[in-house]
Amino acid sequence: MKRKVAIIGGGQTVHASRRHDVNQGEMVNEAVRAALADGRMTMDDIDAVLLGNMEFFEGCHLTDCWLADATGAYGKPGLKITTGGTVGATTIVAGAHHIASGLFDRVLCIGFEKQEEGDSSAILSGVAHPLYGRSLAGAAVGYFAMMGASYMQAFGAREEHSAMVAVKARQNARKNPYAHLKLDITIQDVFDSKMLAYPIRLLDMCPTSNGACAMILADEKTARERCEKPVWIRATETAHNEQFELNWRDVTNTRPIFSRVCAEKLYKKLGVENPATFFDVFEVYEPATWAELVWYEDLGLCKRGEGFHLIEEGQTEINGPIPVNPSGGVLSTNCIGASAMLRIWEAALQIRNDAGEHQVPKDINWALTTAYGGTNWTVMTALSKKWEDS
Amino acid sequence: MEIEFVNIPMVVDVPYRFAAGSYMARFLIELRDNGKFFGIQCPSCGRVQMPPRIVCAACHIKNGEWIELSPTGTLMGFSIVHLPLTDPTTGLPHKTPYTYGIVRLDGAYSTIEHFIDVEPDIQKVRVGMRVRAILRPREERTGDLNDILHFAPIGEA
Amino acid sequence: MTDRVAIVGVAQTRFSPKRADVNVGELAYEAIEQVLQQTGLEIGRDIDNSISCSHDIWDGQTISDIGITDVIGGHLRNEEKMAMDGSTAAYYATIGILSGEFDCTLLLAHTKMSQTDRNIVNNTAFDPIYTRMLGFDFTTAAALQARRYMSVYGITEEQVARVVLKNLSNARLNPVMHNGRDLSLDEILAAPLIADPLRALDLAPDSDGAVALIMASEERAKQITDHPAWILGIGSCYDAHYLGDRDLADCMALEKAAAMAYRMAGINDPRRQVDLVELGDEFSYQELLWLEGLGLCKRGEAGCITAEGLTARSGELPVNPSGGLLGGVPANVAGLNRVAEAANQVMGRAGEVQIKDVEIAVAQGHSGFCGQHQCVIVLGREPRSLSASAGRSR
């Protein structure tokens, strides 16, 4: 990128399954105010406002236009991005490009979803082609169920392993005051939860959350002048997958797919040889437990088919050598338009040493985040504490 | 002071009429009229793709030859669904539990998702199982994916 | 890294009231295939990223870029979707190339208005609690804006009808438009009323179609074509949502978006410096209102200059020589079609609708009802550095 880009502020709402106390605009404004307070700014300091949101989930067309006062976009340049589950990350990427272009110095990026106002699983079935697969689409649950069945059959993992991921996420969430599902659960509790679609049980899936996240990005001069702990966006990468070949369902396939291709490109940009040691913390987008295990492998944190050993050995716990999702992740909080931005904001908090109770107990210099959208695509970002290191 | 929360209930009902396009149309018409499955082959990488589509995404060139596929195939993945998800074409929930899976028809590169006609029991269904497409009777077929009733196991129990 | 950006290829499908023969992906590919052939570029070798503009609710598919991933070359590559008017794709692509991340970007806008109902879709853009149940759509909101604008500035129905007369006549020359025809003022003024003062011919008709563009950094642009259309300036701005928060005769957002774009382009006297305008006449009166918002005439003057023929093809400042949106351009595709038509004029590739000696052209698009979000793109024959912090609010 032509100019350095820093995260100089951010904030999130409390995430919950019911937010009848606020309308969509009021909820978004909570996150915007939190971000401005964190960045010690007012809207007057902001050059442009970018919104990420999937309007079908709220039954509202042109949410960016409706919410122009709540987002602060009134009278300012801006645009709206809609790339599904990745949209929060795509919005940060768009913000980074705005800063790097030299046209803007301070950009406010917002992601939100108020899922309670629509019917999310019917809408997720709408991801399927209208004429091919929509009537029997299993929403996200069916997709991840097939991934889990395929993973167990191929690699000899057991249902305990996915349950361990479920427990880790909710126990971490208990340390995160903003998380939605702060559950003190055990592996047995996961097994006792309702079977949705074999082998996916209720506690294997992310919740349906309402919430918003907002972040302020800035150029180097602004960052150094106005921010004590800027976090630098070092690289971003996006990769999609073709429409009808949903390769994540069959974990044994060896063809190039979005997740591995994206990681490879990102690592090449940064010269990463061993991601498990290069990065100090990971925030990955795992709508279901099995997806976290596949992320371990696709990110190269272990060999193919060995992801379940990482969770079994406790390596990805907050105090393990490869901490993954100390925030509780998407399994604990999923407000679709905000979820991918929350990964980046949580990673930034870790780098700033501001994560509070869920702070990873070691020096965090580099963080990697992933996002996950639709019929398979991802946006990855790499963040660092200092610009000089590499 | 007690605050009263106000919710405005509303159904957003947008009607659509989706054009299948020439590739998908031929697929659906062959299925409806002749009970046959067709894929389309990329002249560059040779993948036989189903549903047929205009461009091979991997090679980014126009797909070429139409290939008739067998109605038999292999179960590549499955799920027994317990959640009464809504069928968006009818607005009604599916009756649970049911088994739904991905099948690779013999000769195809792609897989197709559909219902699998097995007892929804984890002992009765496995990846690698051979299955055959069971279509609705000709007079009941309307030219959409519901013309396939389900895939049923063949050869073995 | 580049500080100059250009449009190097432009392709459009024919627009038509209904394309029952193609699905969204096939429709998009008609434009994509053409623009790749025209520039000799290949997805895998030459295109760094792609940006599409469309709306899930128009497309009837959640995250509807899934339907065009294959044809736009998204497989294992970068693809982003914006739910905005198509003009914003050119705005965002310019920013992406200036950032140094990309050198060559494929842009797409597509919509099949025929597959759903314009009134229902647009009604869902109104806030669900306060205005939606009144059954508003873009046409009824526009009628309020038209009436307010006409009464504040004394614009007559005949002046507005002259926009229709001109644009439908221009559209006859443009092979992509489907609504071109020669009408008399009397015929236009006698068309059935839809929402007073708007009559049937005052509305852009329902259309299906797609537009694809390729934009590139200076170095790449020069390898691809000898006659690119250079981006000289870009600007965007949001107005308020609630109609009650706005004086609908004003165009604050357009004035701000234009100010940003003109600042970048070094334009301080737009009337003198701009040779041609392609703007978003979704409704006939908007051509007059946006002309004023773009600073191309004084407030309230647009009706007179139109009646005097200044904005005709043969006039001093041709406006929508392509036929405009009234000529038959799909919603959302609208703004990218404006950019495409303006770029063709600057590149000298506008065929029958070509105007002589277009050095600088302005394209304008808008999202939302009554032009709530505005986007302005200034194009020119000579390149210009775009690195000044034009978007800074201070």
Q: How confident is the model at residue B157 (pLDDT cuts 50, 70, 90)?
A: very low
At residue B98, the 3 state secondary structure works out as: strand
Query: Regarding beta strands C78-82 and C276-278, do their DSSP bridges make them parallel or antiparallel, or are they unpaired?
Result: unpaired
Is the minimum CB–CB distance between B20 and chain A shorter than 8 Å? yes
Between helix A289-298 and helix A258-270 the angle, nearest 10°, is 50
Nearest Cβ partner for B19 among C23, C74, C120 = C23
Q: Which two tokens stand for residue A242?
A: 């073709």
CB contact under 8 A, A132 and B51: yes
Among A44, A75, A90, beta carbon nearest to C252: A75
CA distance A295 to A280: 16
Closest-CA residue of chain B to A199 = B79
Nearest 10 degrees: CA dihedral of A28, A31, A35, A38? 150
Residues contacting A95, CB < 8 A, separation 6+? A5, A50, A107, A108, A109, A215, A217
Q: Are B15 and C19 in contact (CB < 8 Å)?
A: no
Q: Apex CA C129: angle with CA C127 and CA C135, to 5°?
A: 65
In angstroms, how far is CA C32 from the centroid of its own chain?
18
Q: Report the C-alpha gap between C358 and C342 in whole angstroms.
A: 9
Chain C CB within 8 Å of residue A372 CB = no
Torsion on CA atoms B55, B58, B59, B63, rounded to nearest 10: -30
Task: Inspect the interface and report whether the beta carbons of B78 and A146 lie closer than 8 Å.
Answer: yes
- Dihedral over Cα of A331, A336, A338, A344: its sign: positive
On chain C, the residues whose CB falls within 8 A of the CB of A127 are 61-63, 66
Measured between beta carbons, which residues in chain C are less than 8 angstroms from residue B63? none
Instruction: Report whether pLDDT(B156) > 60.
Output: no
Average pLDDT, chain C: 96
Using the predicted structure, report yes or no on whether residue C325 has a pLDDT greater than 90: yes
Position A137 scores a pLDDT of: 47
Chain B: give the shortest CA distance to residue A10, in Å.
Answer: 29
Beta carbons of B57 and C70 less than 8 Å apart? yes
Q: Is B5 on the interface with C (CB under 8 A)?
A: no
Q: Closest to A1 (Cβ–Cβ): which among C63, C99, C240? A: C99
CB contact under 8 A, A197 and B87: no
Instruction: Read off the DSSP letter of residue A136.
Output: T
Question: Please, which residues 41-80 of chain A have a Cβ atom closer than 8 Å to chain C?
Answer: 44-49, 54-56, 59-62, 64-69, 73-80
From CA C195, how far away is CA C78, in angstroms rounded? 44
Round to whole Å and give the CA distance between B11 and A368. Answer: 40
- Per-residue pLDDT tens over the stretch C94-145: 999 999 999 999 999 999 999 999 999 999 999 888 888 888 999 999 999 9
Cβ distance of B79 and A197 shorter than 8 Å: yes
Q: Which chain A residues are closer than 8 Å to C77 by Cβ?
A: 239-240
Q: Per-residue pLDDT for C340 more than 60?
A: yes
Chain B residues close to C25, C-beta within 8 Å: 21, 53-55
Contact A86, A372 (CB under 8 A): yes
Nearest alpha-carbon partner for A94 in A233, A283, A189: A233
pLDDT at C375: 98
Q: Which whole number is the average pLDDT over A230-253? A: 89
Cα separation of C94 and A97, whole Å? 10
Query: What type of residue sits at position A349?
Result: L
Say if residue A199 is preceded by a cis peptide, omega within 30 of 0: yes
pLDDT of res. B83? 82
Does C118 contact chain B (CB < 8 Å)?
no
Given an 8 Å threshold on Cβ–Cβ distance, is A142 in contact with B20? no
- Bridge partners (DSSP) of residue B133 are B151
* Gap from A21 CA to chain B (nearest CA, Å): 6
* A156 against C389, higher pLDDT: A156
Residues 20-49 of B with CB under 8 A from C: 20-24
Chain C, 270-329: which have a CB under 8 Å from a chain A CB? none
> Whats the size of chain A, residue-wise?
390
What type of residue is B72? T
A305 vs B: CB within 8 A: no
To the nearest whole Å, the CA of B2 is away from the closest chain A CA by: 12
C71 vs chain B: nearest CA distance in angstroms? 6
Question: If you write DSSP's letter for every residue of A39-69 in order, what string do you get?
Answer: TT--GGG-SEEEEE--GGGGT-S-HHHHTHH
Binary contact (A142, B79; C-beta < 8 A): yes
C195 pLDDT more than 60? yes
Q: How far apart are CA C130 and CA C243, in angstroms?
A: 11
Amino acid in position C272? R
* Radius of gyration for chain C, computed over Cα atoms and rounded to the nearest angstrom: 19
Asked if B16's CB is within 8 angstroms of A125's CB, the reply is no
In the three-class reduction of DSSP (H, G, I as helix; E, B as strand; rest coil), residue A249 is classed as helix
Cβ burial of A312 (10 Å; 0-12, 13-18, 19+) is middle
pLDDT band at B120 (very low <50, low <70, confident <90, very high): confident
In sequence order, what are the residues at sequence separation of 6 or more whose Cβ sits closer than 8 angstroms to the Cβ of residue C68? C24, C25, C28, C52, C54, C74, C108, C110
pLDDT at position A135 over 90: no
pLDDT > 50? residue B92: yes
Q: What is the pLDDT of residue A243?
A: 85
Q: How far is C151 from chain B (nearest CA, A)?
A: 35
ipTM: 0.97
CA distance C94 to C88: 10
Give the three-class secondary structure for B123: coil
Nearest residue of C to residue B24, measured between CA atoms: C23
Q: Are C24 and C59 in contact (CB under 8 A)?
A: yes
Asked if the C-beta of C17 comes within 8 angstroms of chain B's C-beta atoms, the answer is no
**Beta-carbon separation of C393 and A240 below 8 A:** no
Amino acid occupying residue B4:
E
Q: What is the dihedral of CA C291, C296, C300, C303, to 10 degrees?
A: -60
Q: Is the separation of the CB atoms in A340 and A212 below 8 Å?
A: no
Q: What's the residue count for chain B?
A: 157
pTM score: 0.95
Q: Which residues of C103-126 are buried (b: 16+ CB within 10 A; e: fewer)?
A: bbbbbbbbbbbbbbbbebbbbbbb
Residue A256 burial by Cβ neighbours in a 10 Å radius (0-12, 13-18, 19+): middle
Tokens describing residue C339: 């950019």
Distance from CA of A277 to the nearest CA of B (A): 33
CB pairs under 8 A between A and C: 216
- Among all chains, which residue has been given the structure tokens 């205009």? B54
Positive or negative, the CA dihedral A376, A278, A108, C238 is: negative
B121 CA to chain C: closest CA distance, Å?
32
Query: What's residue A390's pLDDT?
Result: 46
Q: What integer is the mean pLDDT of C218-233?
A: 97
The pLDDT tens digits of the residues spanning A140-185 come to 788 889 899 889 989 999 999 999 999 999 999 999 999 999 999 9
Amino acid of residue C363: A
Task: Give residue-wise pLDDT tens across range C347-382.
Answer: 999 999 999 999 999 999 999 999 999 999 999 999
- Mention every residue, 6+ apart, whose C-beta is less than 8 A from residue C305: C291, C297, C311, C317
Q: 10 Å Cβ neighbour count for B64? A: 12
SS (H, E, C) chain C: CCCCEEEEEEEECCCECCCCCCCHHHHHHHHHHHHHHHHCCCHHHHCCEEEEECCHHHHCCCCHHHHHHHHHCCECCEEEEECCCCHHHHHHHHHHHHCCCCCEEEEEEEEEHHHCCHHHHHHCCCCCCCCHHHCCCHHHHHHHHHHHHHHHHCCCHHHHHHHHHHHHHHHCCCCCCCCCCCCCHHHHHCCCEEECCEEHHHECCCCEEEEEEEEEEHHHHHHHCCCCEEEEEEEEEECCCCHHHCCCCCCHHHHHHHHHHHHHHCCCCHHHHCCEEECCCCEHHHHHHHHHHCCCCCCCCHHHHHHCCCCCCCCCCCECCCCCHHHCCCCCHHHHHHHHHHHHHHHCCCHHHCCCCCCEEEEEEEECHHHCEEEEEEEECCCCCCCCCCCCCC
Which residues, 6+ apart, have CB-to-CB distance to C67 below 8 Å?
Answer: A129, A243, C23, C24, C25, C59, C61
Report chain A residues whose CB lies below 8 A from the CB of C103: none
The conformation of residue A180, written as its DSSP 8-state character, comes to S
Please tell me what DSSP assigns to residue A250: S
Q: What is the pLDDT of residues A44-57, one digit of tens each?
A: 999 999 999 987 77
pLDDT at C99 (0 to 100)? 97
For residues C278 and C362, the answer to whether their CB atoms sit within 8 Å is yes
Asked if residues A247 and A254 have their Cβ atoms less than 8 Å apart, the reply is: no
Contact list, C73 vs chain A (CB under 8 Å): none
Q: Where are the domains of chain B?
A: 21-153
HSE of A134, CA atoms in CB hemisphere, 13 A: 19
Whether pLDDT at A40 is above 80: yes
Q: What's the sign of the alpha-carbon dihedral B79, B81, B83, B84?
A: positive
Q: Tell me how far CA of residue C156 lies from CA of A55, A326, C145, C300, C327, in angstroms.
A: 39, 65, 14, 11, 22
Do residues A96 and A233 make contact, with C-beta atoms less than 8 angstroms apart?
yes
Nearest to A136 among B20, B100, B111 (CB): B100
Residue in chain B closest to C123 (alpha carbons) equals B12
Residue A346 sits at the vertex; the CA angle it makes with A344 and A349, to the nearest 5 degrees, is 110
CA dihedral angle for residue C163, residue C169, residue C170, residue C171, rounded to 10 degrees: 110
Domains of chain C in start order, with CATH, are: 5-117+206-224 (3.40.47.10), 133-205+228-380 (3.40.47.10)
pLDDT of residue A142: 83
pLDDT score of C32: 98
What domains are there in chain A, each with its CATH number? 5-120+208-226 (3.40.47.10)
Q: How confident is the model at residue B25 (pLDDT cuts 50, 70, 90)?
A: very high
Q: What was the pLDDT predicted at B91?
A: 75
What are residue A214's DSSP bridge partners?
A: A11, A110
- The residues pairing with B99 across neighbouring beta strands, listed in sequence order, are B80
